[in-house]
Chains A and B, each alone.
Chain A
Amino acid sequence: MSVLLVLLMFTIVVLVHYVRKRAQRYIPAVAEQRTRPSSRFDSRLALEVPPGYFFHPCHTWAAEESRQLLRVGMDHFAANLFGKIGRIDITKPNRWVRQGQKLMTITVDGTSVELLSPVEGTVTFLNQAALENPEVVTADPLGKGWMAEIKPANFDTDRKNLLQGAMAMSWMRNSTVLLREICSESPALAQDGGRPIPGVLQRVSPELRKQLLKEFLQSVPIGENQSTCQHI
């Protein structure tokens, strides 16, 4: 009887604590608290390059969380291209990925696109909150929209193939200019030449979509649904 009384007492305490804490704001642990005082930010194009972020030419990024863990995801440019993401399928934990190999598959309006891994290593953890709610990825791709944690094999070597800082910002601006040139006759972009409308891929023809995916994400669409594509 005393055993049950003790267990009941602890259960009541934990339940009361849980109910009281439900409304409390959750402060993200460790490196999620990024104040980014010296982020490079282009407000006109809505592009951001925070310090400590390394960008792959296929618009994925990696950031060091600790000496042996990296956090990865897609950048603003890719998130803007996709717009409203339907589903994200990502490599399962304890699987090995190579730099430049497929890490995840993004499904948008019946079209699936593969995104490449920015680093080589073992996937250790997935951000279920972002994977189950893809709008988080679109809204905050560099913060709460991180996709997975990877334990890198040799990040010192991998980072030589990645961009950061001013070079990354310059590259992103060039990508946006190139996007504007490719879609010069498409209504997918803003009239003032500023930030592209989110969901560019759904607003262009299938041929243009293939070109954009090949140019910027080094990918091809898989299982494209012909009936949903928009014609110019």
Chain B
Amino acid sequence: MKPNIQFPKWSFWRWCFVLLLMGGIYAMYLRLVEGAFHLKFSDTIFPWNLILALDVLCGITIAAGGLTLATAIYVLNLREHSPVVRPCLVLGFLGYVVAALGLMAEPGRVPFPRGSHWNAYAVSALFIVFIAALILEFAPELWEHFARHEPPQGLRSWNMAALLLAVVLVALCQTRLADSFGMIPDEASPLWSTPQLPFFFFISGVCGGLALVIFASWHMRFQGKSFLPGRVAGLGRVLAALLLFYLVFRLVDLADRGIPLFVWKNKTGNLLLTLEIALIFLPMILLLKPENLQNPRVVYLGSGLVLAEVITNRLNTCITSVEMATKRMYLPDWKEFLIAYSIVALGIAAFSIIAKRVPLFVER
């Protein structure tokens, strides 16, 4: 008698994810066998490769942004925006997970200053506090599910304390990370290497976090789980204001340091900087118009452009600036491509699973 085996139905994206993951694991295995894990920061011309730029930096950016937004909503007591806290925390946590996986793929390259073991302690403490904040955020549902009665009233105040502590640790980590670029001033183009880098990292992180919440909400609409159009319009309005703030400070910083913008020479660096500024300017213009905010598709497009800007900025800061300074071109190894994208795919898959099973975009 033949067993009645029913194979699960696999969609196109599930197959893509599995293939990418298998490719990433195989690439990691090859790097381990080839001995690439012990490569140090000073061993290569391009110390910041695709994995560090895309996974570590972008992951930390999104995490910082999400955490800051969640804390701001609690501290400023913006009750009407409280439904945004959950997706911010979950996306932020997944951002840190992606960054951690990226660090594990390149353990020797991260240029922490000598004798700075406290960095590792700070990052570990941040992870613990973040997990605590997540547990406290979902504690009311967990409490009702397991204890079968109303949760204690003071739970929210503990969550605010945890988030405040997490934001302080995030600010410290961001500052130390940006400082590491200052350690090698000769090998970074002045287009991106600026004393205000920590501040710009932080602001773009907040913009990126908010944009990712809007982006994720739009993608969850096919499961009937998304924010109401009115709330998305409100988030778009806030994003436009943040982008305006960020753009003004970027332009003032460039002008202050005498960096010419829109130089129409055949210089890749200037063109990429122009692309970056355009990716701030375009969504800002789109989202400043009230009629555009009424169209969720336009808000989604704006949020996508902001995410593209965050990725472009991090890659430009890590890779393009060194390319310009050393006048060499960096092309990622196929193994780096596979590892970097498989880590990103893991983060997206984890979010999809969480969003389907846990009430994230809830209008409370």
* A interface residue numbers (CB < 8 A to B): 1-3, 5-7, 9-10, 14, 17, 20-21, 24, 26-31, 33, 65-69, 92-94, 124-126, 128, 149, 151
Please determine whether A20 and B12 come into contact, CB atoms closer than 8 angstroms. yes
Please determine whether B294 and A6 come into contact, CB atoms closer than 8 angstroms. no
Query: Is B146 located at the chain interface by the 8 A CB criterion?
Result: no
* B interface residue numbers (CB < 8 A to A): 12-13, 50, 54, 80, 221-230, 233-234, 268, 272, 290, 293-295, 304, 308, 311-312, 315-316, 319-320, 329-332, 341, 363-364
Closest to B319 in A: A2
Please determine whether B50 and A1 come into contact, CB atoms closer than 8 angstroms. no
Docked pose: A128 CA to B226 CA in angstroms:
18
Closest to B226 in A: A29
Please determine whether A124 and B224 come into contact, CB atoms closer than 8 angstroms. no
Contacts of A5 in B (CB 8 A): 332
Docked pose: A68 CA to B79 CA in angstroms:
10
Q: If A67-B364, A125-B294, A126-B294 touch, does A3 touch B319 (CB 8 Å cutoff)?
A: yes
Please determine whether A93 and B363 come into contact, CB atoms closer than 8 angstroms. no
Contacts of A29 in B (CB 8 A): 221, 224-229
Please determine whether A2 and B226 come into contact, CB atoms closer than 8 angstroms. no
Min CB distance, A173 to chain B, in Å? 33
Please determine whether B319 and A65 come into contact, CB atoms closer than 8 angstroms. no
From B311, B319, B341, A7 is in contact (CB under 8 Å) with: B311
Contacts of A128 in B (CB 8 A): 294-295
Please determine whether B229 and A125 come into contact, CB atoms closer than 8 angstroms. yes
Please determine whether B312 and A124 come into contact, CB atoms closer than 8 angstroms. no
Min CB distance, A156 to chain B, in Å? 17
Please determine whether A2 and B50 come into contact, CB atoms closer than 8 angstroms. yes
**Majority secondary structure, A binding face:** mixed
Contacts of B308 in A (CB 8 A): 7, 10
Docked pose: A171 CA to B272 CA in angstroms:
66
Please determine whether A1 and B329 come into contact, CB atoms closer than 8 angstroms. yes
From B12, B50, B54, B228, A30 is in contact (CB under 8 Å) with: B228
Please determine whether B224 and A33 come into contact, CB atoms closer than 8 angstroms. yes
Please determine whether A2 and B224 come into contact, CB atoms closer than 8 angstroms. no
Contacts of A14 in B (CB 8 A): 304
Docked pose: A14 CA to B311 CA in angstroms:
15
From A2, A3, A17, A124, B230 is in contact (CB under 8 Å) with: A124
Min CB distance, A37 to chain B, in Å? 17
Min CB distance, B324 to chain A, in Å? 12
Q: If A14-B304, A124-B233 touch, does A28 touch B363 (CB 8 Å cutoff)?
A: no
Q: If A6-B50, A30-B228 touch, does A1 touch B295 (CB 8 Å cutoff)?
A: no
Please determine whether A26 and B311 come into contact, CB atoms closer than 8 angstroms. no
Docked pose: A7 CA to B272 CA in angstroms:
12
Docked pose: A27 CA to B225 CA in angstroms:
9
Contacts of A65 in B (CB 8 A): 228, 363
Min CB distance, A48 to chain B, in Å? 22
Min CB distance, B227 to chain A, in Å? 7
Docked pose: A6 CA to B58 CA in angstroms:
13
Please determine whether B222 and A24 come into contact, CB atoms closer than 8 angstroms. yes
A-B contacts, 26 listed (Cβ < 8 Å) = A1-B268, A2-B319, A2-B331, A3-B312, A7-B308, A7-B312, A9-B341, A14-B304, A26-B221, A27-B221, A27-B222, A27-B224, A28-B224, A29-B221, A29-B224, A30-B226, A65-B363, A66-B363, A66-B364, A93-B290, A93-B293, A124-B233, A125-B233, A126-B294, A149-B228, A149-B229
Please determine whether B225 and A6 come into contact, CB atoms closer than 8 angstroms. no
Q: If A3-B320, A20-B12, A128-B295 touch, does A27 touch B223 (CB 8 Å cutoff)?
A: yes
Q: Which of A21, A24, A30, A128 has the most CB of B within 10 A?
A: A30
Contacts of B54 in A (CB 8 A): 6
Docked pose: A66 CA to B319 CA in angstroms:
46
Contacts of A126 in B (CB 8 A): 294
Please determine whether B222 and A26 come into contact, CB atoms closer than 8 angstroms. yes
Q: If A29-B224, A125-B229, A125-B294 touch, does A6 touch B331 (CB 8 Å cutoff)?
A: no
Docked pose: A21 CA to B293 CA in angstroms:
22
Contacts of A17 in B (CB 8 A): 13
